[in-house]
A = this chain, B = another copy of it.
Amino acid sequence: MRRNKSKEIPAAAAHRLPRYYRYLTELVKNERYRISSGELSKIMNVTASQIRQDLNCFGGFGQQGYGYNTEILRSGISRILGVEREFTAVIAGTGNLGKTLAKSGMFARRGVVLKALFDIDPAVIDSEAGGFVVMDIKEAADYCRDNKIDIAVLTLPKDETNAVANILAEAGVKGFWNFSNMELEIKTDKPGIKVQNMHMGDSLMRLCFDLNN
């Protein structure tokens, strides 16, 4: 991979990275080891020139007249995405959604190692979910500190979310995957905190808006 480390990946291109990764994974699975930017552009529904620009800024994996080697491209993109770094995650909140995520294979498929599940509810603590014994949320901070956990998945009730997120941020968790349908307010002065929101309710409302207008 000839990626120039000092070259910043523009936000829009970075945003497309997971889609590239998905399509390339599919192609490799189907034993398609070579693809032109034209074909890739058709599958991705992005212009061919956009594809060339994007992949060039990820490091230029293409070869004139040959196109792209899907395996090399996929592996390069997976390195940029951190798939090979094996980030570790815990789920905080083991209601239906937390359990569904734990059982889904969502993490393993993207190189994220799910390490533990936590909950507040005594009725749920010590029960089994997705191959894990659910732990008490009170132990989460120590666990994350001791195990250098990278990501906390927040599937807690709204009222608990910010408090737990702040405790985990202090314990060294940097990445928050927030399903709470509210904005997080993380007040730590630790650097490098990243949040991705999965505002499902907002997405449903956008669909209604589109249907209504």
Contact = CB atoms under 8 A, between A and B. Distances in A.
A26 to B, nearest CB: 8
A198 B194 CA distance: 20
A96 to B, nearest CB: 4
A212 B15 contact: no
A208 B96 contact: no
A201 B22 contact: yes
A208 B15 CA distance: 12
Number of copies: 2
Interface string A164-186: 00000000001111000111000
Nearest to A87: B208
Chain A interface main SS type: helix
Contacts of A200: 106, 198
A109 B107 CA distance: 29
A9 to B, nearest CB: 7
14 contacts: A14-B209, A18-B202, A80-B213, A82-B211, A83-B208, A96-B99, A96-B104, A99-B100, A106-B201, A110-B201, A110-B208, A196-B206, A198-B198, A198-B200
